[in-house]
Structure 1
Amino acid sequence: MEQDSADVAASTHGTNHFKNRSKKRKSAGKRFLQNAKGFGRKNSFGRGAELEQDEYNYFLEILEALGTLQDAEERSTMANNVYEQIQGKEIKTSSNQLSSRVLENLLGYTEEATFERLMEVFGENLRVVCCDKFASHVLQKMLFVAMLRCVGELQSETEAKFALGNKKRKLQIDDEMVFNLNHSAFGEGHRKTCGKFVKKMAKFLLNNLEEFVWDSFGNYVIRQCVLNLAGIAELKVTKRESSEQMKLIVPDKWFKLISEFSLRLLSWPQFPEFPYNEFTSVLLQNILMALKQSGDLFQLLQIGEKLLNESFLLVVNDDSVEKEDVEDKPKLPKVFQQDSSVRLLEVLLLVVDPEFLKDNLFKKLFQGKIAELSKTPATNFAVQKLLDTIFDKHILEHMFSELDDGLEGILQLGHTGVVAALANACNRLSCQQGKFIKLLLDALHCSEVSGEKLLTSILKLMPPEVAAKQESTSIHLHGSMILQAVLEFNKPIKIVTAILDTKNDRLVKIFTDPKGSFIVNAFVQSKFVGEKSREKIIRHLEGCFMDLALSSHGSRVLELLYEVAGPAQKEAIVRELSERVAQLNSKPWGAIVNRKLLIDTYRKNPSQWKRSFSFDSKKEKLFDKILEPSSETKKRKL
């Protein structure tokens, strides 16, 4: 089951996507600045509204200076100065590509009086700016900033909820959001004015919905308005700069406006065609997310039923397909024929009630077609989303019955995300786990192998003989995810044994890989991997601790192993590292390991290290007793 060059290329592209995203964004910003300078040298002063040469050069200087300003106070000073310069010309300046970019970047740092003046000016010219290629971006930013300033006071009571976000990984709120959510920085009158602007925008868009829905820029303004009314904001997450949604508390009155958008669109005769148009499909996706956030389950059900019965279930007859092929394959509903409708279906799967998902979406759209949908480039993502959202074991059993003979074909096509989602579903629902392992090993032709061959085969998602010929092939992201899920299964003994039977130098290569390192998380945290197995893997890696410590990802693995190690094994790790402290400190992550594990202390005085370690252990036990729930509390939890 060899992957062809196209599959390998696609896989490589996927793994490098997040790594390159930050660089691409930075280079895009530099490119924009260089292009703007080039236009200026040719006496062409930007796209959109034409600026005077001195105005154009002024905004070029501001854009260049923006990259050097890190402090919110400096940006605020610059923002107020720039907006003072364009007073009386706000709409024209916003309609130029270069100046629009500058105004959008500075808008969130304006003081109360400046921002209120801008809301008034734009409020009087909404019809013009909503559909302008460049001014619409400034309007969207204005709407977002107004929303933040209006609801900032509401967040104070639940600061931990919106500031820390997901407990498993902290969200990085940028300075601009912090500046605008800081309710103490703005007066009550200003917050009310911002709230009135948000409502005015929503009502204006509702009154002009028929006109703006079909306009590319007006449609985007509507979508942003709907998300803002629900308090949905996007945040950058870690250095990869991927985005994650942040949910803010907003006034309950805003939820009624979201329902109005939904009801208006539901009443349109063109509604059944909305999923098959890019503009209206994304608008419906945003409305579904906003309704979910507002808790309007009735409206969600109305949209779901109408989409399913009047749009998704239609069957498209393709005359170009030969009759024999039509007889062999079931006709797919219309929803699976276009990317825009498939993406809408994916969002619907996320937001609808579990009963509606089971009795309607699964039975009427997916059942009997899982294998075929899993093998199609556009629709396999819908199968993944279905697997990610189901909470009914019977649905998973049905899906397994359809995939009994199809897993190998899915892997050969490179649709490995389906297999990863299947593994996660088995883990989450605690069922079909043994069957999944059997199907996976059969699909990879590695049922009869063990140890390193088995481990490598799963990590690369290739049969052992293929993996042996392609030693340079990196670990597959989904291979690592599948292995992590299997380690959380009730009986992961086969995989645990394969890891422990793999040579330690090979394990080091896996654990220092950015994708392979997370296997250790599952190994040490799984309830079904025994303490003896954790002791064995630490013992197995003796002599390789320095190799782990000198790698950015391996050092994190070493810390994880140290945390679960017993006192004797902790000392063994520290003793080995203490023999080469200079080498350890040669890498920044090695120096961190040195500091956290008190390796310098051990090197100078092992007895003192043991005493500090003993003290920490006593503290942990003391806190465990303090935090341990009483028998009465345990009864209540049960």
Structure 2
Amino acid sequence: MAGEDSSSYRKGGKKMKMGRKAKEEYTGTGQKVSKHQNASVPEASFVRKQVDPETAKYFAEIANVIEGTEIELEERTVICGNALEEARGKEVELATDYIISHTMQTLLEGCSVDHLCGFLRSCANNFSHIAMDRSGSHVAETALTSLALHLQEDKETHSLVEEMLSALCQEIVVNPVDIMCNCYGSHVMRRLLYLCEGETLGSSEFHSSKPSVVLAERLNLRSSQLDGHKLQHHQKFPDQLKFLVSEMLNPSRVDIATLVVNQYSSLVLQTALKLLAGHEQELLHVIPVLLGFSTESALEGIEAREVKKILSLVEENAYSHLMEVILEVAPDTLYDELFTKVFRGSLFKMSSHHCGNFVVQALVSHARSQDHIMSIWEELGTKFKTLLEMGRPGVVASLLAASQRLQTHEHKCCQALAAAVRLENESTICIVPRILFLDSYFNSEENDSWNWPNGVKMHLLGSLILQSIFRLPNDFILQYISSITSLEDNHVLEASRDPSGARVIEAFLSSNVSTKHKRKLVIKLRGHFGELSVHPSGSFTVEKCFNVSNASLRETIVSEILPVQSALSKTKQGPYLLRKLDVEGFARNPDQWKSRQASKQSAYEDFYSAFGPKATNASQSESFLADTHHKSQQEKLKDMRKEIDTRLSYGFAPNSGSQFLAHPGSAKLKRSGNKQAPERAGFAKDVTDNGAFKGKNRRHKMENVSTATKNTKGGEILQGDKPSTVVKEKKRRRKDAF
């Protein structure tokens, strides 16, 4: 694939899939393995003894006792311990028996840590055989998971578990290749690595390799799991982890070339690298070994044939996954060496390959400096259209996100993307629709006559690209603003109904674009707010529309939701939206509702005039009041905005914005034991004096509002009849696209 000319990717071809494809088979691990790649390395034959009838009968009776009736916890522990005593010397045949293995799992979950370690100690010499068996692997994983739980519940078991881990590691490293390359054994090895690192039950989710999670991290939609892990890194058994990893990768004992291209051992190696994230010295030793060098200094004199070998290997499925993790965790110095001496100059060729393009995405996403982005831009900046035609939107999205993160080349990326989807003399109106439907547009026989396809699902990566676009400064995205605000009414409605399209609409309404442009888009949805509010993802869009609307538009939105109030209350997000928009209050007394909305707007304006950034015109002020954006100080102001909403929604100061932070007649703070309470009290008194934000020292006020905002997580800002929205409202969750 890498050697194919870009012209071979016909416009009508099916090249827009995001997954790795061609000549691959799915495995039970969630990744794929090439047909020409060995699924595993043959391990030495092992003959398992059959369980004798008397023992089989005993464990069948034990299964009936512990699974069929309610037993006291203490009694259950004793029964499980006694049963494991009876298993002494027969662990292998019992653990690998399809029926009895289930009972063994139950026993290992219910026994004491002493009996658990006794079981593992007794079968340590044969642990590898158990781990590589279809049934035995489940028993081995259960035993390791139970060890982690005991360690979590009782810290005094540390020395006992450490001794047990040392024995298991010593046994496994005698011949680690067999177990690492086995489809069952690789799972056990990963669980053992987690335990050595000190992870407890469920920790494997933390190191998730789900494509959606990886994609969200690469596009700045969520923080890296490894970044969070670095902050909480607490190895329980660092010596065992280092010993296990070093012996797994000892070139004198194992064939590294086999491990890096095998589907199952690659998963083990990826886990080891993630667990070592943040430990530079270990990574500086491990990564060169995986690349085929003995020391880090070998990269300095890397030869052309060695570079060619690595570039060839990234086209292998297992190796490409491994290289993605290497680029993610590599120390800055090592990343720079790999970038400049191995990959630079080959980025477009790699992007053309169905596996190699994922390595390019990782390389771009984890760029460490503006110089890296500059070099990447030189190779890929003029190739956006070709990349999209080949079905490589992930490379384009990664470059856009990385340029945004490192604050360089954002404008150039925006211009290149717009040029990739429109001809030089075409109107900018076509930009957003074509990115929303990347598949449809680039698979069309006649691009210049392409029209909005009705009933077609919008492209996930196209949506993510546009979401990134609308997080950029307005001056960079003028063409995109013009395009989205020029959409026909029915197209805006269709986008709002589609999970991916709705996220683009919401991103635009949450951007720094002027309120005038936002309302232009909201008006296109008039007459459909009711149906959108009961749509699975539509309530989020309706809320964003309400936030940016003026008084007249807000009244329109609520009046359209009123007929579907009953149906909306039965949806997941409905109750929140009904409270946020105060639909019940509108139904009860529209005039009073309008008065409260006017009070809120007045309070926002007073609040903004004192604490918001200086605006050069009214539109900037409106934009701030309508939707506070992502910056740290603005997040604090947004929390205060929620407080204003809550106070006025419950009827406080309906005709004035002067007392929006305090209940009438109560100027005292609710005592929460916080040392900052006196400052907060001073802030409340100052801002409510004479209905305006007056004071000689505005900087002092900013410190107070920051303090008050930080403390909303621990309790109310001011005493009143209702708790703060910041405390009361649970975080809303959604299941649609990012």
TM-score of the superposition, structure 2-length normalised? 0.63
Amino acid at match of 1:339: N
1:417 paired residue number = 394
Q: Which residue of 2 aligns with 1:474?
A: 457
Q: For 1:121, which of 119, 122, 136 is the aligned residue?
A: 119
Could you tell me whether the CA contact under 8 Å between 1:229 and 1:250 is conserved in 2?
Answer: no
Report the Cα distance in structure 2 between the residues aligned to 1:448 and 1:78, rounded to whole angstroms: 78
| 2:499 pairs with 1:514 | yes
Contact 2:260 2:318 in 1 (8 A): yes
Query: Partner of 1:506: helix, strand, or coil?
Result: helix
Task: Give the aligned partner of residue 342 of structure 1.
Answer: 320
Q: Which residue of 2 aligns with 1:546?
A: 530
For residues 564 and 94 of structure 1, do their structure 2 counterparts lie closer, same or farther at Cα, with a shift above 3 Å needed? farther
Measure the CA separation in 2 of the matches of 1:206 and 1:121.
20
Check conservation: 2:196, 2:236, Cα contact below 8 A: no
Q: Does 1:145 align with 2:146?
A: yes
Deviation at 1:202, TM superposition (A): 3.5
TM-score computed with the length of structure 1 as normaliser: 0.72
1:186-206 deviations in Å (ceiling 9; x for gaps) = x55456544543444344434
Name which of 144, 160, 164 aligns with 1:197: 164
- Report the Cα distance in structure 2 between the residues aligned to 1:62 and 1:315, rounded to whole angstroms: 67
Instruction: Give the 5 Å matches for 1:139-538.
Output: 139-150=140-151, 152=152, 183=153, 187=154, 189-190=156-157, 193-206=160-173, 209=176, 212-213=179-180, 217-232=184-199, 233-235=203-205, 247=229, 252=235, 254-269=237-252, 270=254, 272-273=256-257, 274-292=259-277, 295-308=278-291, 310=293, 333-358=311-336, 360-450=337-427, 453-461=430-438, 462=441, 465=448, 467-468=450-451, 470-490=453-473, 491-526=476-511, 528-538=512-522
Q: In the alignment, is the contact (CA less than 8 A) between 1:278 and 1:340 conserved in 2?
A: yes
Residue in structure 2 matched with residue 30 of structure 1 by the alignment: none
Q: Which has the higher contact order (CA 8 A, sep 6+)?
A: 2
SS of 1:390's equivalent in the other structure is coil
**Structure number with higher helix proportion:** 1
Structure 2: tracts of 5 or more residues without a match: 1-8, 22-28, 31-47, 215-224, 601-642, 648-659, 663-679, 685-699, 708-738
Question: Structure 2 CA distance, aligned partners of 1:582 and 1:619?
Answer: 23
Is the 8 Å Cα contact of residues 504 and 540 (structure 1) preserved in structure 2? Answer: yes
**Structure 2: distance between partners of 1:214 and 1:13:** 21
Partner of 1:630: 703
CA contact (8 A) 2:328 2:366 kept: yes
Distance 2:593 2:49 in 1: 68
Counterpart-to-counterpart distance in 2, 1:506 and 1:547 = 15
Partner residue in 2 for 1:603: 587
Structure 1 CA distance, aligned partners of 2:454 and 2:10?
13
- Provide, for residues 157-182 of structure 1, a one-character-per-residue CA deviation record: whole Å limited to 9, x for no partner: xxxxxxxxxxxxxxxxxxxxxxxxxx
Counterpart amino acid of residue 517 in structure 1: A
Whole-Å separation in 2 of the counterparts to 1:598 and 1:478: 36
What's the counterpart of residue 93 of structure 1?
Answer: 94
Q: Counterparts of 1:566 and 1:79 in 2: how far apart (Å)? A: 66
SS in 2 for 1:515: helix
Number of matched residues?
A: 546
Q: In the alignment, is the contact (CA less than 8 A) between 2:327 and 2:366 conserved in 1?
A: yes
The structural deviation recorded for 1:510 is 0.9
After superposition, the C-alpha distances for 1:445-494 in whole angstroms (9 at most, x for unaligned) are: 35544465322101112255464285443211110011111111222222
Per-residue CA deviation, residues 106-151 of structure 1 (Å, 9 max, x unaligned), is: 578525x3x531331122102323322122322223213322431x
Structure 2 distance, partners of 1:546, 1:263, is 61
Q: Which moved more, 1:531-540 or 1:241-250?
A: 241-250
Range 137-146 or range 463-472, more displaced: 463-472
Deviates more, 1:560-569 or 1:115-124: 560-569
Distance 1:123 1:617, change over 3 A: same
Change (3 A) 1:456 1:344: same
Deviation of 1:80 after TM superposition, in Å, equals 8.2
Residue 385 of structure 1 and its aligned partner are, at CA, apart by 0.6
Aligned twin of 1:164: none
Cα offset, 1:350, TM superposition = 0.6
Counterpart of 2:14 in structure 1: which amino acid? A
- 1:136 corresponds to which residue? 137
Asked if the contact 1:380–1:415 (Cα under 8 Å) also holds between the matched residues in 2, the reply is yes
Q: CA deviation digits over 1:64-105, x for unaligned, max 9?
A: x99xx9xx999999898778767624654321234435654x
> Which blocks of at least 5 consecutive residues in structure 1 are unaligned?
15-23, 26-46, 153-182, 318-328
Describe the SS at the equivalent of 2:408. coil
**8 Å CA contact retained: 1:420, 1:478:** yes
Please say which structure displays the higher CA radius of gyration. Answer: 2
C-alpha spacing 1:608/1:350, structure 2 compared with 1 (3 Å): same
The Cα offsets for residues 200-242 of structure 1, whole Å up to 9 and x where unpaired, read as: 434443466477556555554333222322235123899x998
In 2, the alpha carbon distance for the partners of 1:4 and 1:75 equals: 65
Q: 1:314 to 1:101 in 2, by over 3 A?
A: farther
Task: Say which is worse superposed, 330-339 or 425-434, in terms of deviation.
Answer: 330-339
8 Å CA contact retained: 2:266, 2:322: yes
Q: Are residues 1:561 and 2:545 paired?
A: yes
Cα distance between partner residues in 1 of 2:108 and 2:583: 47
Contact 1:230–1:258 under 8 Å retained in 2: yes
Shift of 1:357: 1.1
TM superposition shift of 1:51: 8.8
Mapped partners of 1:552, 1:93: distance in 2: 49
Evaluate the alpha carbon distance shift between residue 356 and residue 588 of structure 1 in structure 2; reply closer, same or farther with a 3 A threshold: closer
Q: CA RMSD in A?
A: 4.6
Kept in 2: contact 1:548–1:555 (CA 8 A)? yes
Select between 398-407 and 445-454 the one with higher mean Cα deviation: 445-454
Cα displacement (A) at 1:603:
0.8
CA deviation profile, 1:407-460 (whole Å, cap 9, x unmatched): 222222212211111221122122222222232233223554446532210111
Tell me the SS of whatever aligns to 1:428. Answer: helix
- Is the 1:147–1:198 contact (alpha carbons within 8 Å) kept by the matching residues of 2? no
Q: Measured at CA, do residues 363 and 191 of structure 1 come closer, stay the same or move farther in structure 2, by a change above 3 Å? A: closer
* SS of equivalent to 2:509: helix
